Copies of this chain bind each other. A is one copy, B any other.
């Protein structure tokens, strides 16, 4: 049983109550806690030494990344983050300066995004450092964007460029909070997710939640310079396109809108965010799964995650 299967099993019948608007299975949980014009977003995310960072990663960047990942999930709902709690589990002979560095990086990103850090705890974890962030945010009532709203015919968009995040971006990415809120205000976004497991890993979450499939145009997938460089430097590395599809930790926004809004949205985006690429990479279709179209025709992407392309 892998992580996804385990989670699917565990979250099949969770306790609920009337405060729950959207429970497990989206980027954030959505709660109604009685504010007239707002709903509450609720999210946790953990980073672990050896997986998301190493002991050699500067502590400021570890703390920054821990919070940035959670902020990216708030962005994926078109929300605004409000307050965070920080849990740091670390070996007993911890270096207080190292922990201080984690907080410095985290606090700087929190301040930049007007997020309050309202507490947390340190606890003991043998050998490895683990940081878990809990975050609450808000979204205008009824304006939260879920994974489940994609419709056949929708145009599929992605911000930025994909792949090669491990070279640097995974420690320095900017959560797309302002961009997501602008999208929710200026267009009718049907579905959205942030890319943490790669396009090939995360697009299926939208498709499965919405009961639809997707057709992507291979030449339209925006491939990062880092992914291209890595493929060029090392012939045994992933081809650049495969890297863009599967590398993970892009933390860009993937979303769908009605096809008729697509051109207008692209034009308005260019004026609003001239420095950040927005690419239309394909369309939502009836059915399921992902088809990739290139000059040679269409072929089916038959597994999410680390799939090899030719």
Contact between A126 and B127, CB atoms less than 8 A apart: yes
Contact between B82 and A19, CB atoms less than 8 A apart: yes
Type the 1/0 row for A7-38, where 1 means its CB is closer than 8 Å to any CB of B. 10111001111011011110001010111111
Chain B residues within 8 Å of A119, by CB: 11, 14, 23-25, 29
Query: Which of A42-50, A159-167, A184-192 forms contacts with chain B?
Result: A42-50
Contact between A44 and B116, CB atoms less than 8 A apart: no
- Report the interface size for chain A: residues with CB under 8 A from the other chain: 66
Query: Which of A129-137, A170-178, A265-273 forms contacts with chain B?
Result: A129-137
> A10–B103 Cα gap in the complex (Å)?
7
Contact between B122 and A3, CB atoms less than 8 A apart: yes
Shortest distance from the beta carbon of A8 to any chain B beta carbon, whole Å? 11
A220 proximal to B (CB < 8 A): no
Shortest distance from the beta carbon of A213 to any chain B beta carbon, whole Å? 25
A123 proximal to B (CB < 8 A): yes
Query: Which of A83-91, A204-212, A253-261, A283-291 forms contacts with chain B?
Result: A83-91
Taking A122-B3, A123-B51 as contacts, is the C-beta distance between A117 and B33 under 8 angstroms? Answer: no
A168 proximal to B (CB < 8 A): no
> A23–B117 Cα gap in the complex (Å)?
8
Type the 1/0 row for A86-126, where 1 means its CB is closer than 8 Å to any CB of B. 01010000001001100100010011001111111111111
Shortest distance from the beta carbon of A4 to any chain B beta carbon, whole Å? 10
A299 proximal to B (CB < 8 A): no
Closest B residue to A102 using CB positions: B10
Contact between A42 and B85, CB atoms less than 8 A apart: yes
Chain B residues within 8 Å of A127, by CB: 126-127
Looking at the complex, which one of B31, B96, B132 makes contact with A83 (CB distance below 8 Å)?
B31
Chain B residues within 8 Å of A244, by CB: none
A227 proximal to B (CB < 8 A): no
Nearest 3 CB-CB pairings of A with B: A29-B118, A24-B119, A134-B134
What would 17 A/B residue contacts be, using CB atoms closer than 8 Å?
A1-B96, A6-B96, A10-B99, A15-B110, A17-B82, A19-B116, A22-B118, A29-B118, A31-B118, A33-B35, A44-B87, A46-B87, A48-B124, A85-B134, A125-B128, A126-B127, A132-B132
